[in-house]
Structure 1
Amino acid sequence: MHKPFAVLAVAAVLSSTCAFAADLPASEAPIAAAPVVEDTGRIFDEARFGVLTSVDSSDLNGEDGAFVTGMLLFDPWSHMEAAGWDRLLRPRIHVGGTIATEGEANQVYAGFSWTANVTDRFFLELGFGGTLHDGDLDIDDGGNGPKLGCRALFHEYVAAGFNVTDRWSVIAHLEHSSHANLCDGPNNGLSRGGVMVGYKF
């Protein structure tokens, strides 16, 4: 006797529930999370260190001993991510120094560097800038090393490197410093070459 009443009651409850649900506002679409930008806090892009020796054995230009050298490279314009001709406009910045082991000219230098990746492992590099040194300026200075004319010189280098891993590389390095006859005095120049090891941060 109560069965029809129970069926009607259940139907009424279901009907009211559906109507209530229809009146609810549509749920908003989930908001996509903002991409996380990794802040590496990196200042230096790469560090290099190595040993050079004089590559000019003439009486006027030859230097004795070895030269301990180090270089830091910065990449403020994303040179390593650029492609094609755009890479020429976005060089890395380098600063470095060379210490003589037998009393020859010590140097500090800075400039711009351009790197060309020939393959995933092999690369070529060119650098150009300026240097300050403490070597002999004129013949009257009495030393046996090159006579350099003035304290400030142009400094350029070429390099060929091999990436051993994603971070470590071995680099053949050849550099030259002179004033291109833009100041008075001799212009024997400094020509050095050797091997450097690089570490990318």
Structure 2
Amino acid sequence: MRLAGLALGIAIAQLAAGAAIAADVARRPAAPQPMPVPVALQPSFISEVRFGAFAHDPWSPEAGSANLHAEVLFAKPFTPADLFTSYFVPRPHIGASLNLGDATSFAFAGLTWTVDVTERVFVEASFGGAIHNGETGRVIPADRSALGCSPLFRESASIGFRLSQNWNVMATVEHLSNAGICNQNRGLTNIGARFGYSF
């Protein structure tokens, strides 16, 4: 009888110890789960699209008409971690400017550099080339500009304001010329406004 009582006492003690351990484990906070590693989204191949209107060279024989403008900017080929250094990496662009009168239209391509002045204000410069349907001959009609040759160099400068995370508006001046490479070099200088949508 004594042995049976002793065995029963040991069994009860073991059950009590097991229950105490189980309760202690239940009270312990769960081990923290590792945070999921954020997945870096691949940048879009297209960085931004733009559209707008320009006064067509108000100081030239072709004055008095307007151009509709469209442009696509592509993502930078790489983006340095340092913000200042990243400003020196341009975005490639292509675009077209369609004259609504009987003046010069052109298509263009090149590189664009954008620099933030504040969180909303930015400035921009671009450089590239353009092909056009303007006058390149020796005899030029009185209402047309003597562009000398095609293609031409194209430069532009803009100041812009970000309306939201995606939308911006900018004032732009662009100039096309052959830099004196051809016999005639009247060039074109257009001024206008554009809206941009960033992806």
* TM-score after normalising by structure 1: 0.80
Contact 2:73/2:92, CA 8 A, preserved across alignment: yes
Find the counterpart in structure 2 of residue 47 from structure 1: 49
Quote how far apart the aligned CAs of 1:63 are: 3.0
What is the CA–CA distance in structure 2 between the aligned matches of 1:37 and 1:159, rounded to whole Å? 35
With over 3 angstroms needed to count, the CA separation of the structure-2 counterparts of 1:158 and 1:200, relative to structure 1, is same
- Secondary structure (helix, strand or coil) at the match of 1:157 reads strand
Deviation string, structure 1 residues 146-177 (Cα, Å, up to 9, x no partner): 11111111000000000011111110010000
Find the counterpart in structure 2 of residue 22 from structure 1: none
What is the CA–CA distance in structure 2 between the aligned matches of 1:163 and 1:42, rounded to whole Å? 19
Quote how far apart the aligned CAs of 1:39 are: 3.8
Alignment of 1:118-129 (within 5 A): 118-129=117-128
- Count how many residue pairs are aligned between Structure 1 and Structure 2: 186
What is the CA–CA distance in structure 2 between the aligned matches of 1:76 and 1:95, rounded to whole Å? 14
Find the counterpart in structure 1 of residue 185 from structure 2: 187
Find the counterpart in structure 1 of residue 116 from structure 2: 117
Quote how far apart the aligned CAs of 1:116 are: 1.0
What is the CA–CA distance in structure 2 between the aligned matches of 1:82 and 1:70, rounded to whole Å? 31
Find the counterpart in structure 1 of residue 174 from structure 2: 175
Between stretches 70-79 and 168-177, larger displacement belongs to 70-79
What is the CA–CA distance in structure 1 between the aligned matches of 2:79 and 2:100, rounded to whole Å? 34
Contact 2:70/2:95, CA 8 A, preserved across alignment: yes
With over 3 angstroms needed to count, the CA separation of the structure-2 counterparts of 1:85 and 1:117, relative to structure 1, is same
- Secondary structure (helix, strand or coil) at the match of 2:153 reads strand
- Secondary structure (helix, strand or coil) at the match of 1:140 reads coil
Q: Which amino acid aligns with 2:186?
A: N
Find the counterpart in structure 2 of residue 103 from structure 1: 102
Quote how far apart the aligned CAs of 1:13 are: 7.7
Find the counterpart in structure 1 of residue 152 from structure 2: 153
With over 3 angstroms needed to count, the CA separation of the structure-2 counterparts of 1:82 and 1:193, relative to structure 1, is farther
What is the CA–CA distance in structure 2 between the aligned matches of 1:7 and 1:116, rounded to whole Å? 82
Identity of paired residues, percent?
29
Give 5+ residue unaligned stretches, structure 2.
18-30
With over 3 angstroms needed to count, the CA separation of the structure-2 counterparts of 1:41 and 1:78, relative to structure 1, is closer
Deviation string, structure 1 residues 5-62 (Cα, Å, up to 9, x no partner): 20134457899xxxxxxxxxxxxx9995762424457221111100001344244xx4
Contact 2:57/2:191, CA 8 A, preserved across alignment: yes
Deviation string, structure 1 residues 172-194 (Cα, Å, up to 9, x no partner): 01000001011x32100010010
Find the counterpart in structure 1 of residue 70 from structure 2: 70
What is the CA–CA distance in structure 2 between the aligned matches of 1:53 and 1:168, rounded to whole Å? 23
What is the CA–CA distance in structure 2 between the aligned matches of 1:48 and 1:124, rounded to whole Å? 15
Q: Which amino acid aligns with 2:54?
A: L
2:194 aligned with 1:196, yes or no? yes
What is the CA–CA distance in structure 2 between the aligned matches of 1:9 and 1:176, rounded to whole Å? 96
What is the CA–CA distance in structure 2 between the aligned matches of 1:81 and 1:161, rounded to whole Å? 24
- Secondary structure (helix, strand or coil) at the match of 1:70 reads strand
Quote how far apart the aligned CAs of 1:143 are: 5.6
Find the counterpart in structure 2 of residue 140 from structure 1: 139
Give 5+ residue unaligned stretches, structure 1.
16-28
* TM-score after normalising by structure 2: 0.81
With over 3 angstroms needed to count, the CA separation of the structure-2 counterparts of 1:81 and 1:121, relative to structure 1, is farther
